[in-house]
Structure 1
């Protein structure tokens, strides 16, 4: 842990203060839980999202004394913890992605599309994308989905996964190439949202 917290509203300050007043950690939950929940729901479905979110914040609370206070935003740190928790559920994620690729209908899909007229077209894209995501290594999938679904930048992904920015770039390039090939040449940056896939199909 190095550096010192800055403004009182920064995440780092909340974490530091929570060491003596644990109840303050709840503010971090209020700030970031919705984003972590959305990310977990997209990765593993609504049924697992609550548990993933709870495990993420419980782990963060237990590890808060080791937080690097030089980092004012805890968002990358929390997504990194969430990625590790999801990693422990990797078989569930891969099984769900493969089911979606095979059947084009899976409970996880409920997290990815709404009930609209574009649903049928979106399901066709879902099958291709889900198969491509299932075929990625866990590391490549984490990087791609943290960029795509958590809207993290390269540096934030590097912080989240404790890897160099260069590794983020190479994993992202490799993942995009594999997904692009699986989608018949469609740029995966255009298919982060399945509704967008349907609209461009």
Structure 2
């Protein structure tokens, strides 16, 4: 039965047997939807649908030697989100957060649970280089390992660990006396 297979086996098998792709959708839709909901809540459902269309269409391009299937899926998600931001910036250059092809940090406050530290945390995240910020958020929010986050961003795992360490240090340095908990600390 295909549901007993791990993600990498399912994705590899899906290249020849499309039905093997279905368990991946069931296993990862919630986490991927959360990824989109934290970054673009108004269109998270649409982005998730686009992700699954693109992932299915490009499933033959998955190489288990380059990393786990979960990281590959988050990489597809990141590409879908980037394309969405580019389209939004072209269609509505007047909207906040669309001047650059980057995460619209002006709206992060509204989505943070810790309202008391939201402005300061947002400020610190905005000051991070985009790749460091993305690595930090993939590890903290999406709970990917640094190696998986490296595969999503498309850099070597050692480089990702170094940049993640640098991002955490920058957050600590700029956040004192703000106490960071969990994966951000």
TM-score range relative to shorter protein: 0.7 to 0.9
Map 1:28-39 to 2 at 5 A.
28-39=24-35
CA contact (8 A) 2:67 2:151 kept: no
Task: Give the corresponding residue for 2:136.
Answer: 144
Which structure exhibits the higher relative contact order, with contacts defined as CA atoms closer than 8 Å and separated by 6 or more residues? 1
User: Structure 1 runs of 4+ off > 3 angstroms?
Assistant: 69-73, 90-95, 185-188
Give the counterpart of 1:26 among 19, 22, 27: 22
1:52 is aligned to 2:60: no
Q: Secondary structure at the match of 2:116?
A: helix
Map 1:146-185 to 2 at 5 A.
146-185=138-177
Q: CA deviation at 1:27?
A: 1.5
Residue-pair matches, total: 170
Judged with a 3 Å threshold, the aligned counterparts in structure 2 of structure 1 residues 185 and 169 are, in CA distance, closer, same or farther, namely farther
Q: CA RMSD in A?
A: 2.9
Judged with a 3 Å threshold, the aligned counterparts in structure 2 of structure 1 residues 140 and 27 are, in CA distance, closer, same or farther, namely same
Map Cα deviations across residues 14-40 of structure 1 (whole Å, 9 max, x no partner): 223322332331211111010111122
Judged with a 3 Å threshold, the aligned counterparts in structure 2 of structure 1 residues 48 and 137 are, in CA distance, closer, same or farther, namely farther
Q: For 1:19 and 1:99, how far apart are their aligned partners in 2?
A: 39
Q: For 2:67 and 2:156, how far apart are their aligned partners in 1?
A: 19
CA contact (8 A) 2:146 2:157 kept: yes
Question: TM-score normalized by structure 2?
Answer: 0.76
1:65 is aligned to 2:60: yes
Q: Secondary structure at the match of 2:135?
A: helix
Q: For 2:103 and 2:154, how far apart are their aligned partners in 1?
A: 23
CA contact (8 A) 1:12 1:71 kept: no
Q: CA deviation at 1:187?
A: 5.5
Q: CA deviation at 1:125?
A: 0.8
Q: For 1:33 and 1:157, how far apart are their aligned partners in 2?
A: 18
Question: TM-score normalized by structure 1?
Answer: 0.71
Q: For 2:8 and 2:182, how far apart are their aligned partners in 1?
A: 34
Q: For 2:71 and 2:159, how far apart are their aligned partners in 1?
A: 16
CA contact (8 A) 1:10 1:72 kept: no
